[in-house]
Amino acid sequence: MARLLLLRHAKTERAEAGERDRDRKLTARGRTDAATIGAYMVRHRLLPDLVLTSPAARAEETLAGVAAEFAKSPRVAHEERIYNASPDTLIRLIRETRGAKTLLVVGHNPGLHDVALALVGSGDTETRERLAEKLPTSGLVVIDFAFDDWSRLRVNSGTIERFISPRSIEAAND
């Protein structure tokens, strides 16, 4: 069984005049949220063998905050194609992956949200409905597949295992 973890970057500062979009950094809340997601991933054993991350500063900073919680750092590949990627591009990129049973992709909306919706074909109805509404910053979607070879990835072939965000973690702890 293969497991895909899709993580939208954490909350980001607004672009300053003349600043490139890809250079935007995380806010203080974004850094806290990334650590919260990382701690959750450790607690629930959602640890990737490989991470594919957008080269945008906000994605790399999110990954750094998440991975700081891990006992062992996973392999990381900075993948240019994730930045502003369409769902088709993301699916092609995931299909090309080798040597990872659990894959984490750190990227951006709308592509990440759209690919999550495209890949999930079954699972808890309420969770699927929440995902259909939006993928918030620091949102993590966990999708399981009944194969081990990423080249077999197809639309609607996944089962949503969970969908969490810092706010849903906070609400569960109240």
pLDDT at residue 81 greater than cutoff 70: yes
Query: For residues 41 and 19, what is the distance between their CA atoms, to the nearest angstrom?
Result: 32
Report the pLDDT averaged over residues 153-158: 97
Of 65, 118, 109, 124, which Cα lies nearest the Cα of 88?
118
pLDDT at residue 111 greater than cutoff 70: yes
pLDDT at residue 21 greater than cutoff 90: no
pLDDT at 174: 62
Report the pLDDT averaged over residues 44-73: 96
- The domain that contains 16 carries what CATH number? 3.40.50.1240
**Domain interval for residue 168:** 2-173
Q: How far is CA 35 from CA 56, 79, 134, 151, 156, in A?
A: 18, 22, 21, 32, 31
Report the pLDDT averaged over residues 46-55: 97
Report the pLDDT averaged over residues 44-62: 97
Q: How far is CA 47 from CA 41, 52, 53, 113, 114, in A?
A: 6, 13, 15, 21, 23
Q: Domain total for the chain?
A: 1
Report the percentage of the chain scoring pLDDT > 90: 90
**Mean of all residue pLDDT scores within the chain:** 95
